Amino acid sequence: MIVELGHFALILALAVAVIQGTLPMLGAARNHGPWMELARTAALGQVALVGLSFACLMYAYVVSDFSVVNVVRNSHSLKPMLYKVSGTWGNHEGSMLLWVLILALFGAAVAAWGRNLPPALKARTLAVQAWIAVGFYLFILLTSNPFVRMLPPPADGLGLNPLLQDPGLAFHPPLLYLGYVGFSIVFSFAIAALIEGRVDAAWARWVRPWTLSAWAFLTAGIALGSWWAYYELGWGGWWFWDPVENASFLPWLTGTALLHSAIVVEKRETLKAWTIFLAIVTFGLSLLGTFLVRSGVLTSVHAFATDPTRGVFILLLLVIVLGGSFALFAWRGPQLAGGGLFRPVSREGGLLLNNLILCTAAAAVLLGTLYPLMLEAVGGGKVSVGPPFFNAVFVPLMVPLIIAMAVGPLLPWKRGDLGGALQRLWIAGAAAAVAGAWAWTRDMSTLLGLLGMAMAAWLLVGTLVELAGRIQLFRAPVTESLRRLVGLPRSAIGMTLAHAGLAIALVGMTGDSVWKLESIQVTAPGETVTVGRHSYTFEGAREVTGPNYLAIRGSFRVERDGRPVTTLEPERRRYPVERGETTEAAIHPTWLGDLYVTLGDSQGGEGAFVTRIYFNPFIVWLWTGVGLMVGGGLVSLADRRLRVGAPAPRRARATAPSPSAPATETVTP
Amino acid sequence: MTGLPVSSKAPPPAGMSSGGGLRARLPFLIPLVVLAVIAAYFYVGLGRDPHVVPSVLIDQPVPDLALPPILGRDRGLTTADLKGEVSLLNVFGSWCVACRVEHPLLMALAEQGVVPIHGVNWREPTPEAGPNWLDRLGDPYTLVGADPDSRAAIALGVAGAPETFVIDAAGMIRYKHTGPITPDDWERTLWPIIRKLQAE
Amino acid sequence: MADHPEAAGGMRRRLVKAVVVLVAILLMSGTGQAGGIQPDEILADPALEARAREIGRELRCLVCQNQSIDDSNAELARDMRILVRARLQASDTDREVLDYVVSRYGDFVRLRPPFKASTLLLWFGPALILAAGGLAMVLFVRRRAGIEDSLPPLSEVEQARLEALLGDRPR
């Protein structure tokens, strides 16, 4: 009964979405208030209905209702409760339901908090959002219905892939989708603006919180997936350039570019068409990612439950959404002339460079991801494009980006002084030299360590120089500097955090790529292995029983210079129901590097096992840095000017009737 | 949808120029073109199985093989055995479920004697596993060689089992079939190729 | 798709639809086990072993389809690692080892696509995009800066008004 309720609620949500997509759009065109208002009600109704639908499916998982095919295929009565809940979205159908739930959530958020939006813009935005939802409701109902019954019900389910039975991966999809799908609302704003034919500073201000939140979620989602791979896959890798990883990284790259170009629209009323384009592309890449994962056109370790019919449907959806948007863009885009003038060396120039590099990087990753498919389609044979290609292309692009990242924020709008900015950065240059030299003395076999560490130091110190300049550190009394620090706009603090976060993450990426230590051997109980400055004594392994798995747990006593450091207990788990195995690495994180141990097969009897011991230098810096980046996004979100629902700026109102008369109009002679 | 801005009665907002001529519009059409190209590729890509890797060994001589016999047999398989007449070379293993699916067809072909079938017994967990499997289900192979460490499989560019090579009288690989041979595959693809090669 | 030694439950996609899910799970569980290289494979000569690692990272595991043979736990990947080491010990150059594997499996087995006519677009694509984007940017910026030069300077009143309108940046 509950399951049918969920099914019915989803159908009802489709109907509501159709209404939300049409009447408010017409209302906005005819300036018909009540019809426009309908968007708000419908958006809230939609989220209630999809929420109910999702809750019903979750209920079926929680009570292990094995009359539902989806539950049978992906759950088991003995599974721990956390994974029964997360099993709801640990499969294709359920994850699509989560997808539309988040789509509806963002629509409802705009409906609920967007009181300061002009009614027509809001109505159109919500209508566009509703049309995306219509497409996905149809997709779920026609090709991927999670509410299909199975009669008679089997005694128990098939279980969930053991790899997915992990707290990190339980929350990876929701966060990732909040990011992925969060860009839908930015897209809807962009389409609404194209329909209206107007993009201005006010529009950029309204959109910025949504871009920021989607970006922060996406960053966190990608990082969580990466972290999971790091501790779960058993060799400490954290990025593989897998097509599905690339699919989530692409919208991140263009989304980051969007975040920066929208600032130019907000402050300087230029780059309007470009920003709209980025908004469309970013969500388009999210859709593309969904297509790549679900259609099976690419081979990937992630390929779960792929099916060509679904592929055709999503491809159709992709073509309609993007084709329509790009056509509208081709029609209306040329009319979005920019206002603000600037010199090449200026804040605008810096942000443009950022956009150029980020978009080139995105295009390169897209090219590499799709190239095998394209070549095969024209009969050019089969090739693989793997990590060696992506590293060769991506790393050189990041070098100028990071150099510019320290310089850009020091340049004023309109016209900057490169020499002056570089002079202020002398200390960053010195730090880069020291860090590079230190890296070089550690390992002279590769320049990568030198390059990475020098970059990280340059960016970190450069970012701090910018902050110091803002708060007049050392030039004003300390109390004055502190007062200024507290008084800084939240968005400025956010930028500092995010840029510094990237610098810190870079330390982790470099350290782990260049100085990783590895030792693979057969270890008998009592034997000691030395890796780097630590010695690991294997004290044997024993069997333990988990809630739905059996495990062998090894124990390692770790010492450094004869002093005990920690005891590491890696596991190998066997899941009898799912007939799968997982490796649970034991990790002791330190700022200098993680001690990372995994247990392999038992070998040669007498309690000996294959053991793999790694020292992953600075990897904690990677997670910390990404955490800072997400934090920067959130702090920025708290900026008074950008806060969702904050009253429209007084200036903008003063120039009513249109709350956003572009500033440049009045000053152009 | 009309697409008319609400404020259309008001003077057009600043920054909204007439849009310019075709030249100014051209860059705005690029995304549409790129999308069309990508979508077309995807449509073609959807019809393909990305797991099938075509062989680069077609029209190449069979690589040098010198496979030892499987347990209990006295003759293995060498490249020289694959010359002189058209034959099939089938890579199989007792661990391979799809090989079992294919097995009855191979038995039927062996019974008809239309073409000799040779086997590469790939990566058995124990030396007995392969012979036991053949004893239990029947042995369609004229000659069988053991390949416990994938040397032959890698030389033949094999990624999974079963894979079947059509080899001509000169010992050249002329066709490779990936996955179990279904009666349909046999009728439509393999048998015509073999007949043609036998006629040469 | 065909069976692989470690995906013994797999069956051809067309045969039983439900098996597709199972195959996906099996393929994934293949990645779940601790990374590839076993102690008995490692060569005594560290220089040779380091070269073997370099080569291993360049070669795709055909069974898992998206991992290098170094990262893969698949048996075929293990056999390929052993083969690579055997060839290195028989004093093959890195190039010769790679060429041998490519001669058996085609370019598909290389994670770094070879540099040839069909991959020109791949290798030069990013540079082309950067150049085209850079050119567009330069043209755009020139126009922006150019217009500014041709405009009369703002009057004080206009300047003040401009500042007021744009003025939410901190000063």
**Closest-approach residue (CA) in chain B for C103:** B56
Cα three-residue angle C143-C145-C147, rounded to 5 degrees: 65
CB contact under 8 A, B55 and C82: no
CB contact under 8 A, B53 and C62: yes
- Decide if A309 touches B, using CB distance below 8 A: no
Task: Give residue A638's pLDDT.
Answer: 86
Mean predicted lDDT score pLDDT of chain C: 75
CB contact under 8 A, A235 and C35: yes
Nearest-Å Rg of the Cα atoms of chain C is 28
**Closest-approach residue (CA) in chain B for A378:** B41
CATH code of B60-199, in short, is 3.40.30.10
Q: Which chains touch B (3 or more CB pairs under 8 A)?
A: A, C
On whether the CB atoms of residues A353 and A342 are closer than 8 A, the answer is no
Go through the domains of chain A in sequence order and give each one's CATH number. Answer: 1-160 (1.20.120), 161-323+351-411 (no CATH)
- Decide if A669 touches C, using CB distance below 8 A: yes
CA A407 to chain centre: 26
CB contact under 8 A, B16 and A336: yes
Residue corresponding to tokens 């739905």: A548
Give the max Cα distance, chain A.
Answer: 90
H, E, C per residue of A506-569: HHHHHHHHHHCEEEEEEECCCCEEEECCEEEEEEEEEEEECCCCEEEEEEEEEEECCEEEEEEC
On whether the CB atoms of residues A296 and A373 are closer than 8 A, the answer is no
CB contact under 8 A, C122 and A368: yes
Beta bridge partner(s), residue A560:
A534, A563
pLDDT at C9 over 50: no
Distance from CA of B100 to the nearest CA of C (A): 10
CB contact under 8 A, B101 and C1: no
Half-sphere exposure of C58 (CA within 13 A, CB side): 20
pLDDT at C11 over 90: no
Residues in B closer than 8 angstroms to A382, CB to CB, are 53-54
Mean pLDDT of each 10-residue bin along chain A, 669 residues long = 92 95 90 89 95 95 90 86 88 90 95 88 94 94 89 83 79 89 95 91 90 95 91 83 89 96 89 92 91 66 54 86 93 80 86 94 94 82 90 93 93 86 91 93 85 95 92 85 88 94 96 90 93 93 90 94 93 85 91 93 85 94 97 89 50 38 33
Report CA torsion sign: A92, A97, A100, A105.
negative
- Decide if C140 touches B, using CB distance below 8 A: no
CB contact under 8 A, A301 and C28: yes
Q: What are phi and psi of C4, to 5 degrees?
A: -130, 155
pLDDT tier for residue C98 given thresholds of 50, 70 and 90: very high
- Decide if B57 touches C, using CB distance below 8 A: yes
State the first-to-last Cα distance of chain C, in angstroms, to the nearest integer: 65
pLDDT, tens digit, for every residue of B87-138? 999 999 998 888 999 999 999 999 998 999 999 999 898 999 999 999 999 9
DSSP for A377-435, written as a single string: HTT-------HHHHHHHHHHHHHHHHHHHHHGGGSPSS---HHHHHHHTHHHHHHHHHH
Residues in C closer than 8 angstroms to A612, CB to CB, are 34-35
On whether the CB atoms of residues B180 and B195 are closer than 8 A, the answer is no
- Decide if C33 touches A, using CB distance below 8 A: yes
C-alpha to C-alpha distance for C25 and A537, rounded to whole angstroms: 35
Task: Give residue A100's pLDDT.
Answer: 95
**Closest-approach residue (CA) in chain A for C164:** A651
CB contact under 8 A, A356 and C60: no
pLDDT, tens digit, for every residue of B42-88? 787 776 666 666 788 899 999 999 999 999 888 999 999 999 999 99
Task: Give residue B2's pLDDT.
Answer: 37
Distance from CA of C8 to the nearest CA of A (A): 12
Task: Give residue C148's pLDDT.
Answer: 54
On whether the CB atoms of residues A496 and A632 are closer than 8 A, the answer is yes
Would you kindly state where each structural domain of chain B is located, as residue ranges? 60-199
- Decide if A338 touches B, using CB distance below 8 A: yes
- The closest of B78, B63, B61 to B172, measured between CA atoms, is B61
pLDDT at C43 over 80: yes
**Strands B77-78, B66-67: pairing kind:** antiparallel
- B156, B157, B161, B164 alpha-carbon torsion, rounded to 10°: -50
C-alpha to C-alpha distance for A569 and A575, rounded to whole angstroms: 19
CB contact under 8 A, C148 and A342: yes
Structure tokens given for B71: 């347990």
Structure tokens given for A356: 């150029």
- Tell me if the bond preceding A669 is cis, omega within 30° of 0: no
Q: Which of residues 362-421 of A touch B (CB under 8 A)?
A: 370, 373-374, 376-377, 381-382
Higher pLDDT, C147 or A261: A261
pLDDT tier for residue C19 given thresholds of 50, 70 and 90: very low
Three-state SS at A103: helix
C-alpha to C-alpha distance for A137 and A342, rounded to whole angstroms: 46
Single-letter amino acid code for the residue at A639: D
- The closest of A374, B152, B39 to C113, measured between CA atoms, is A374
Q: Which chains touch A (3 or more CB pairs under 8 A)?
A: B, C
pLDDT, tens digit, for every residue of A501-512? 999 999 999 999
Q: CB count, 10 Å around CB of B64?
A: 10
CB contact under 8 A, C3 and B150: no
Report the helix count and the strand count for chain B, using DSSP H and E. 6, 8
C-alpha to C-alpha distance for A305 and A66, rounded to whole angstroms: 19
Task: Give residue A376's pLDDT.
Answer: 80
Question: Hey, of B26, B34, B41, B56, which one would you mutate to test binding to chain C, going by the most C CBs within 10 A of its CB?
Answer: B56
DSSP for B134-159, written as a single string: HHHH----SSEEEETTSHHHHHTT--
Structure tokens given for A142: 């026609």
pLDDT at C150 over 90: no
Higher pLDDT, C100 or C1: C100
Cα three-residue angle A620-A621-A623, rounded to 5 degrees: 65
Closest by Cβ to B13, choosing from A198, A273, A382: A198
**Closest-approach residue (CA) in chain A for C39:** A521
C-alpha to C-alpha distance for A435 and A448, rounded to whole angstroms: 12
CB contact under 8 A, A330 and B28: yes
Distance from CA of B99 to the nearest CA of C (A): 8
- Tell me if the bond preceding A400 is cis, omega within 30° of 0: no
Task: Give residue A305's pLDDT.
Answer: 42
pLDDT at C107 over 80: yes
CB contact under 8 A, B161 and C3: yes
Structure tokens given for C158: 């206009």
- The closest of B148, B142, B140, B137 to B70, measured between CA atoms, is B148
Task: Give residue C144's pLDDT.
Answer: 73
pLDDT, tens digit, for every residue of B159-197? 888 999 999 999 999 999 988 999 999 999 999 999 999
Task: Give residue C58's pLDDT.
Answer: 93
Packing angle of the helix pair C94-105, C46-58 (nearest 10 deg): 30
- Decide if B194 touches C, using CB distance below 8 A: no
Q: What are phi and psi of B89, to 5 degrees?
A: -120, 115
C-alpha to C-alpha distance for A267 and A255, rounded to whole angstroms: 19
Distance from CA of C149 to the nearest CA of A (A): 10
